[in-house]
Structure 1
Amino acid sequence: MKNRFWLALSSLFLSFTIGLLPSTASAAGYTQTKYPIVLVHGLFGFDKLGPVEYFYGIPDALRSGGAQVYVTTISAANSTEVRGEQLLTQVRQILAATGAAKVNLIGHSHGGPTARYVASVRPDLVASVTTVAGVNKGSKVADILTGAPNTSAAIGDALASLIGILSGNKGLPQNAGASLTSLSTAGSLAFNSRHPQGVPTTACGEGAYQERGVYYFSWSGAQPYTNVLDIADPALATISLAFGGAKNDGLVSSCSSHLGKVIRDDYAMNHLDEVNQLVGIVNLFETNPVTVFRQHANRLQGIGL
């Protein structure tokens, strides 16, 4: 009787484990999009700090299924327009190097509106824009910080400069005050008036799925505290109080993250989990963020992008 019980339990565990692993057949070509995927980091972001990637483990996971993936390097802190022009320069370089006609832009946090800027000014170069917890209608955290003393901006500039040095990109201009203005509710509203593509016209709805030949998508998390082993989670849980009970990931409200087709706005992830940080310490009871990125690459593949 005991032997049968343990045999049944072992079989169940094995079946569950195998179900979590992609088969060779499904993995081959699963993420192979027509156009290169370009990842765009958010505020105080980077491509790599030593062995730590901003999009931790995500580029390799996408490449393993056939995707061409590029991780861009733009100012850790600056206005959306400054970052957008930096991104546009790199998009042109990627297109020249690959011979591709367009790119699929995926931006996290401030990387969302940064990617939107490029699609707005050069839609001919962009197949799709996807924002992951994109600050598309501002953040209450940025609203609070823009009203703080000037020392906040000075500290932000110092942090951004340090990130630039550690990541080997010290030549990029840093301006934390400009970034906070861009990410504030008022700054986002002004930006959206100039670059409205994909932005919902209702408070918490969906935007246009396609405009000027560019497809728009978004997803985000809504659980600030997800793993007791993650040292960043208590801070995100505390910061989330700024949203007054509205659904958020610790730094961006779910409604503000909406752009184009909303895939989900309620993953049990916080703002860092969404890009598989802190070094892969994420919610064990939610779809792994690497899987979410792979699924999206397959979604883009399915519509010929």
Structure 2
Amino acid sequence: MTFRKQRTALITSTALAATFAASTATAGLFDSVFSWGDDRGYTETEHPIVLVHGLSGFDDLFGIVDYFNGVPGALAEDGADVYVPQVSAANATAVRGEQLLAQVQEIVATTDADKVNLIGHSHGGPTVRYVAGVAPDLVASATSVSGVNWGTPVADAAASGELDGLGDIVFSIVDGVSGANLPQDTGAAIESLSTDGSVAFNQDFPAGVPSEYCGNDGAREVNGVRYYSWGGSDVKTNLVDISDSLLAATGTLIDEANDGLVPACSMKLGQVISTGYKLNHLDTVNHLFGLTSRNAADPVELYRQQANRLQQAGL
């Protein structure tokens, strides 16, 4: 069992975050120490919520630093049953998808749940789409957050393969520190996230995908699975957030509105909640240190809103 179940009490982490850079920059932050007031039941969904990390991601580091910083605890505190699986930090979408599928099957087999609500960030977007496509009977909804659904020029630029060996080493370290021993394949991950790789994936898994790039006509429900998406289109959102500089550099490779790693148009899937939040790619998982634009939506609150949206839909 490689997934982690979030307890119903809000967990506070007190460890310094680590920053990782390989074709993306990730890293952690403390879990949010925040009370959501009298909202008990606000995030309680019919089916468990499963949060799926992106490229170079993890469930948690050293058992204390969450990839989805502050999100699992905030969801659980107000009623959600939350699981945080770990899949390969870097690998092909299908490989990550099969790893996730095995954990979803285990969640269903060991609880009274018959389906789950999948929420994937970045490469986690296509990863949850894979599971929804091959096992729709186990999935109530698939939500893509800053998802690479039509590829990204950042992956196109990294497709030379020169960094594959180094990437495998870095991602293996991330994987090991987070307590797993999963295979890493940087080249396969980059290919999956490239424009050509993503278009090929969409041909096999078209559910929720708009009829054309940047379209808004993606099916909202396919084979009983509801599809949602949201993300941001700002890059430098806080002057004291060191990760913003890295995203500003990668963002120059994209000649349209983007979050530093993914074009806003590439994020669209199913019911598009918004791809225009004043958040960058790491802000949408509340990193680093929860530093976002002063006028930006609270990332943790956006996950809570999505949980409530699922609740209202009977999911």
TM-score (norm 2): 0.87
SS, match of residue 131 in structure 2: helix
Pairwise CA distance, 1:284: 2.5
Distance (whole Å) between structure 2 residues aligned to residue 301 and residue 286 of structure 1: 25
**1:63 matches 2:101:** no
Q: Alpha-carbon deviations, 1:104-141, whole Å to 9, x = none?
A: 00000000000000000000000000000100000100
Pairwise CA distance, 1:203: 1.8
Aligned residues, how many? 280
**1:93 matches 2:106:** yes
SS, match of residue 31 in structure 1: coil
Q: What is the correspondence of 1:273-288 to structure 2 with a 5 Å cutoff?
A: 273-288=283-298
In 2, are the aligned partners of 1:52 and 1:279 still within 8 Å (CA)? no
Distance (whole Å) between structure 1 residues aligned to residue 58 and residue 36 of structure 2: 29
SS, match of residue 147 in structure 2: coil
* RMSD after superposition: 1.2
The aligned residue for residue 239 of structure 2 is 228
The aligned residue for residue 3 of structure 1 is none
Distance (whole Å) between structure 1 residues aligned to residue 107 and residue 290 of structure 2: 28
Distance (whole Å) between structure 1 residues aligned to residue 269 and residue 207 of structure 2: 9
The aligned residue for residue 41 of structure 1 is 53
Distance (whole Å) between structure 2 residues aligned to residue 103 and residue 266 of structure 1: 27
In 2, are the aligned partners of 1:273 and 1:283 still within 8 Å (CA)? no
Pairwise CA distance, 1:21: 7.4
The aligned residue for residue 15 of structure 2 is none
Q: Alpha-carbon deviations, 1:14-61, whole Å to 9, x = none?
A: xxxxxx97541xx11000000000000000000111221100000000
Q: Which among 265, 272, 293 is matched to residue 275 of structure 2?
A: 265
**1:250 matches 2:260:** yes
The aligned residue for residue 165 of structure 2 is 154
Distance (whole Å) between structure 2 residues aligned to residue 224 and residue 181 of structure 1: 24
The aligned residue for residue 31 of structure 1 is 43
**1:74 matches 2:87:** yes
Q: Which amino acid aligns with 1:157?
A: D
**1:237 matches 2:232:** no
**1:122 matches 2:135:** yes
More deviation, 219-228/201-210? 201-210
The aligned residue for residue 175 of structure 2 is 164
In 2, are the aligned partners of 1:132 and 1:220 still within 8 Å (CA)? yes
Q: Which among 140, 144, 153 is matched to residue 140 of structure 1?
A: 153
List gaps (5 residues or longer) in structure 1: 1-19
List gaps (5 residues or longer) in structure 2: 1-33
SS, match of residue 118 in structure 2: strand
More deviation, 91-100/29-38? 91-100
- What is the percentage of aligned positions where both structures have the same residue? 54
Q: Which has the larger radius of gyration?
A: 1
SS, match of residue 256 in structure 1: helix
**1:202 matches 2:225:** no
Q: Which among 181, 189, 197 is matched to residue 187 of structure 1?
A: 197
SS, match of residue 61 in structure 1: helix
Q: Alpha-carbon deviations, 1:163-185, whole Å to 9, x = none?
A: 0111111x200000000000000
Distance (whole Å) between structure 1 residues aligned to residue 36 and residue 183 of structure 2: 42
Pairwise CA distance, 1:79: 0.1
The aligned residue for residue 307 of structure 2 is 297
Q: Alpha-carbon deviations, 1:70-105, whole Å to 9, x = none?
A: 001000000000000000000011111221110000
SS, match of residue 163 in structure 2: helix
SS, match of residue 263 in structure 2: coil
**1:217 matches 2:228:** yes
Distance (whole Å) between structure 1 residues aligned to residue 35 and residue 174 of structure 2: 35
Q: Which among 97, 100, 103 is matched to residue 84 of structure 1?
A: 97
SS, match of residue 104 in structure 1: strand
SS, match of residue 75 in structure 1: coil
SS, match of residue 242 in structure 1: coil
Distance (whole Å) between structure 2 residues aligned to residue 114 and residue 21 of structure 1: 31
